[in-house]
Amino acid sequence: MIKTPNGIKLSCKGWQQEGILRLLLNCIDPDIAKDPKNLIAYGGNGKVARDWDSFMAIMDSLLRLENDETLLIQSGKPVGVFESYEDAPRVIMAGSLIVPYWSDWNNFRKLEDKGLTCYGQSTAGSWAFIGAQGILQGTWETFYQLGKAYFNSDLTGKFVLTSGMGAMGSAQPLAATMNGASVLVVDVDRNAIKRSLIESFCDYMTEDIDEAISLIYDSIRKTEPISVGLLGNAAWVYPEILKRGIIPDVVTDQTPAHDLLSYVPLGADLRELDNMRVKEPERYVELSKESIAIQVQSMLEFQRNGTLVFDYGNNIRKQAYEAGIMDAFDIPSFVPLFIRPLFCEGRGPFRWIALSGDPEDIYRTDEVILKEFSDDEVLMKWIPQVEERIRFQGLPSRCCWMNYEERVRFGLIMNDMVRRGILKSPIAITRDHLDSGSVASPYRETEGMMDGSDAIADWPVLNALLNASSGASLVGLYGGGGVGIGYSIHSGMTIVADGDASTDERLSRVLNNDPGLGIIRHADAGYEKAKDIAVKLLKPVMG
């Protein structure tokens, strides 16, 4: 087992390389990773490197990398070290990118079987994964915005029905109850529910649908939030709830529908399905689509009965459409419903990691947030809750949604804290890929753009190029993300705040330009809110 170094002693030739190395190792820390032996950080197969030989070569390259060199990584495999300059990225990577005509799961798996590529999900491939907190924060933010937009407050007294308690869905029970909801989460995997109970993400587990519904209604009556994990298949539970005339306030789904070999269909023993995945993958995919069709048909029926139903970015509508549910896309995506106004102001999932390994470094930054950004209502709600409810996994970290102006201001404050010794060692600043200007994903982040530019993929490419020229420590461009191969292109960025005065300039450039491009992207699409901010703070060329 390889442990993540911490403290102030360097293993590399500079903190930029050291920070990147520690983030890489953090992603396969047993306390944080789904399957560290196979280099899988999270999701079905979100890998940090193509194989162990590639991983060891990456680590060796980072240890030897000079301060004016750049390591290139192609789909999890290091391919060369090139002379660059000190302000250039120490690592540039591209992953899971396939020429569009061939960009689908079938071709990807053939290439993967030949050892030519690997799937990095969103943050695993760019070594920005921070465990449950990152997933929780984005889910919490979605439920927070949902309550504010559709229920004029929070979700207190509201019945939320969802499914999926695996990697991406694991945060749903806690995120919903933190926003006041009574939430029923369905999953076929007993261990996933048990893990959620152990981690205090879920309050109660049952195999009995009657007991589950009784617990939900009792919670609503008392206006005391509860999360109930129901062992079962969503393709059976959703229609059954409908049959009983029960209409939840909110319905969504976080099963791994983007990868049909990870989704669990109805009507077969789990061992039989495991065998079918390997020996009859085409049959398995067919069964998955049949079950997804049933589940989505039920979601549409809930919608017709007045429930707020939304797709949560896992491509379930597309799979249902291909299975014959022609109105699957009548279900809207969560981004147009709740998140796009935030993107218009450059607000998105901002992360920072204490490379010292000392939790006190994060708590000191929390104090700064509460003092310096006290006018930000969302931050004031989030920070106290996350301090109380979440334990650190791997290197201590924090994640919260910050806007264009807040990111650069806070980044410079943290760099100054490192310089003055208030923080024990440098901070790595990164983000999720579900961000304002870093993704082209017509079934998620860029669905329903005002100007019809949903599938225009220039923007994440420009984002990666801009971050590289601005001086980020690590920059990457990737295919797939949470919706699967062929459905999105996204970019990643990390910069290490090492306390050096010269890093102030790099931080200012990167943390302005990264979200700034997102504002311009939305201004270009016609959003007035983004236009106003762009004119005030940026330099748009066209009106």
Task: Read off the pLDDT of each residue in 258-270 and give the average, rounded to a whole number.
Answer: 86
Tokens of 302: 């809930």
Beta strands in 273-358 (DSSP E): 308-309, 348-354
Rounded to two decimals, the pTM is 0.92
What CATH number matches the domain at 154-332, 3.30.390.50, 3.40.50.10730, 3.30.930.20, 3.30.479.10? 3.40.50.10730
Answer whether 17-130+340-537 and 154-332 agree in fold: no
| Side chain identity, residue 250 | V
CA distance 300 to 447: 19
User: Annotated active-site positions, please?
Assistant: 400
Average pLDDT, the chain: 94
Euclidean distance between CA atoms 253 and 234, whole angstroms: 9
Question: Domain residues of the chain, as ranges?
Answer: 17-130+340-537, 154-332
Is the pLDDT at 166 greater than 90? The verdict is no
What pLDDT, in 10s, does the model give residues 116-143? 999 998 899 999 999 889 889 999 999 9
| Those residues with Cβ within 8 angstroms of residue 451's Cβ, 6 or more apart along the chain or in another chain | 524, 525, 526
pLDDT tens by residue, 210-247: 999 999 999 999 999 999 999 999 999 999 999 999 99
Q: Using DSSP, state whether 258 is helix, strand or coil.
A: coil
User: What is the structure's pLDDT at 543?
Assistant: 61
Strand order in the sheet with 250-251: 204-206, 226-231, 182-187, 159-163, 250-251, 308-309
Residue 380 has pLDDT above 70, yes or no: yes
Q: What is the pLDDT of residues 72-116, one digit of tens each?
A: 999 999 999 999 999 999 999 999 999 999 999 899 999 999 999
Write out the DSSP string of 101-112: GG-SHHHHHHHH
The H or E element that residue 490 is part of is strand 489-497
**CATH annotation of 17-130+340-537:** 3.40.1770.10
Q: What is the pLDDT of residue 472?
A: 98
**Terminal CA-to-CA distance of the chain, rounded, Å?**
55
CA–CA distance, 440 with 518 (Å, rounded to integer)? 11
Q: Give the model's pLDDT for residue 78.
A: 98
Is pLDDT at 199 greater than 90 in this prediction?
Answer: no
Q: Tell me the pLDDT tens digit for each residue of 32-51.
A: 898 999 999 987 789 999 99
